[in-house]
Amino acid sequence: MVICLMAMHLDNLKAYPFAELAARLAEWGQKPFRARQVYRWIYARGATTFEEMTDLSRETRALLAERAMLPTLELAHESVSADGTRKYLFRLPDGETVETVWIPEADRTTLCISSQVGCAMGCRFCLTAQGGFTRNLESWEIVEQVLAVRRLAPPQPPITNVVMMGMGEPLMNLDSVVPALEKLVDDQGIGLAPRKVTVSTVGVIPRIPELGARAPYVNLAVSLGASRDPVREALIPVAKGWRLGELMAACRAYPLPPRRRVFFEYILIKGVNDGRADARELIRLVHGVRCKINLMAYNPSPGLPYERPDPETVLAFQKMLSDAGLRTIIRKSRGQDVLAACGQLRRAQEQGLPLSVC
């Protein structure tokens, strides 16, 4: 309890954008270049203590330790899949938990991070939604998922891509998401290429232009759910206020950098949205949008009434889109033996269930 009370009076340096960090250190009598040193130690080098910052004087390190802190996320559980995927359950300072997934592939290593504790969107096929919404993540909690996994995962291959496709709806937390994105792509910070960072939304139409205005350098991904409004509304209840035609208009107006595309994520669910009529309507729907379509067969979740389509159905769906001239790939489901679908690991822990399905 004493430690907690002491921590409440310490400045969390990870909570500050660089300009605010520099201002705070200047208030403490530090020269301007110290801010860049501290910033690089936190984000580029992943320091978790001030003692690690060896190019700072002992006096400066002592002052920082007296006045500031560098909080980290507690690892609550780690699962390693047979396919190499690693899923992490992190405990936040208030005891809540979020999920992060590390996915190594032949040409890249992707980290899927969360932006909220729980989710308010209510998607019927997503286990995260079944637990409801708890709170937004703070900006530092979003970035810390990347730093924590860099400490925990194998150093090779390094993380090359980050996608906000974990727990939560990023566009409902833009005031935390945008500062986090800035640190992810800052050459002096995490240092990811902007084209390797993607923000995924279920289609919060009013916030899409805001993302384009505040972070135009990252990729936009839209989880469609279905190609027809009635089916989409049955799967995603909030879509009743965000019709597909209006969503496509927002995507057409999105400020795409040259050679960039909007990514449409389409999860194929057996007997729900995987038919030929669904494919034909999807072709019509995305006409005029510079896009790429990522298909994924549904990853079943315990307690949800949806099934995975057979491989032949998935291939036939892809062929119809490709024959129509749409760039379409099939994303392989990863980590099914370690509950890698969003929300599974957190729900299992909350209910005292086994933390794998092996």
Q: What are the residue numbers of the active site?
A: 99, 342
Tokens of residue 69, six digits:
């802190």
Peptide bond into 206 cis (omega under 30): no
Rg (CA), the chain: 21
Tokens of residue 95, six digits:
């005891």
Cα 26–31–33 angle (5° rounding)? 110
How far apart (Å, rounded) are the C-alpha atoms in residues 42 and 37? 9
Of the candidates 205, 217, 293, which has an alpha carbon nearest to the alpha carbon of residue 249? Answer: 205
CB 276 within 8 A of CB 312: no
> Amino acid identity of 253?
A
The H or E element spanning position 219 is strand 219-223
Q: Where are the beta strands (DSSP E) in 119-218?
A: 133-136, 161-164, 197-201
**CA distance between the termini of the chain:** 39
Count, in order, helices (H) and strands (E) of the chain.
13, 14
How far apart (Å, rounded) are the C-alpha atoms in residues 299 and 301? 7
How far apart (Å, rounded) are the C-alpha atoms in residues 206 and 219? 17
CB 338 within 8 A of CB 62: no
Tokens of residue 52, six digits:
């690690």
How far apart (Å, rounded) are the C-alpha atoms in residues 241 and 32? 49
Q: Residue 150: is it exposed, middle or buried by C-beta count within 10 angstroms (0-12/13-18/19+)? A: middle
Let me know how long the chain is.
358
Tokens of residue 314, six digits:
């998935």
